[in-house]
Amino acid sequence: MRKSIRSNQRQFQTNLERLQGRTEMHLKVVVEDCCRELGAPQTSEGVGRAYLTNLRETATRQRERQTRARAVSFQLHRLFSPLDEEISCRLTDNGKMLLDIAHLIDRKCVERYHNKYSAATQMMKECQMQLSGPWPPYHFVQRLTRGAHTASHAPVAPPASTTRLEPVLATV
């Protein structure tokens, strides 16, 4: 650990300075599944045309969910204007989409963020929202330090996107 800190001291210091005076606010947003009316996907077992039709319908559902999740997350990004954000999305057991959003904001702007949350709940009545925080910026520390460790110990992979909608929804 000490060796890692010494070798990456400049990057760690830069990351700490970036998060100085910042805090994390956490939003959980529940949205009705836009594909619910299409019915449940049939089993992937089948032959010929039925199998291919099922694959096409499943892919269409996933694209529609991703589009809806992106639209909601974009709207929330415009409302809250965070310094940084991390978003994940998944389909819940009851057939709704859950967007889990971490926003990085200035610590002195927490009250303003609460006011924006109140306005957002009034504007986006089709969504159920839950706010928690302020928290230490846990989501953003891990993402910053993850790049430092992987660069020296593993093959280079493309950087993880801040908005992780596709990989999570692709498994639905």
Q: Are 69 and 89 in contact (CB under 8 A)?
A: yes
* Tokens encoding 115: 């006011």
Q: Which residues contact 26 (CB under 8 A, 6 or more apart)?
A: 100, 101, 102, 103, 131, 132, 133, 135
Beta strand 96-106 pairing with 22-32: antiparallel
| Confidence (pLDDT) at 170 | 37
Structural domain for 131, as ranges:
2-170
Per-residue confidence in pLDDT tens, the chain, 172 aa: 788 778 888 888 888 888 899 999 999 999 887 665 555 555 555 678 888 888 998 888 888 888 888 999 999 999 998 999 999 988 888 878 899 999 999 999 999 999 999 999 999 888 899 999 899 998 887 655 555 444 433 333 333 334 444 434 433 3
| Confidence (pLDDT) at 120 | 93
Q: How many domains does the chain have?
A: 1
Full DSSP string of 66-114: HHHHHHHHHHHHHHH--SEEEEEEEE-TTSEEEEEEEEEEEGGGHHHHH
Q: Are 97 and 30 in contact (CB under 8 A)?
A: yes
Q: Are 12 and 148 in contact (CB under 8 A)?
A: yes
| Confidence (pLDDT) at 45 | 59
Q: Does pTM top 0.85 for this prediction? A: no
Sign of the CA dihedral 160, 132, 16, 2? negative
| Confidence (pLDDT) at 92 | 84
| Confidence (pLDDT) at 143 | 59
Sign of the CA dihedral 4, 5, 9, 11? positive
| Confidence (pLDDT) at 11 | 83
Cβ-in-10-Å burial (0-12, 13-18, 19+) of 90 comes to middle
| Confidence (pLDDT) at 65 | 84
| Confidence (pLDDT) at 14 | 84
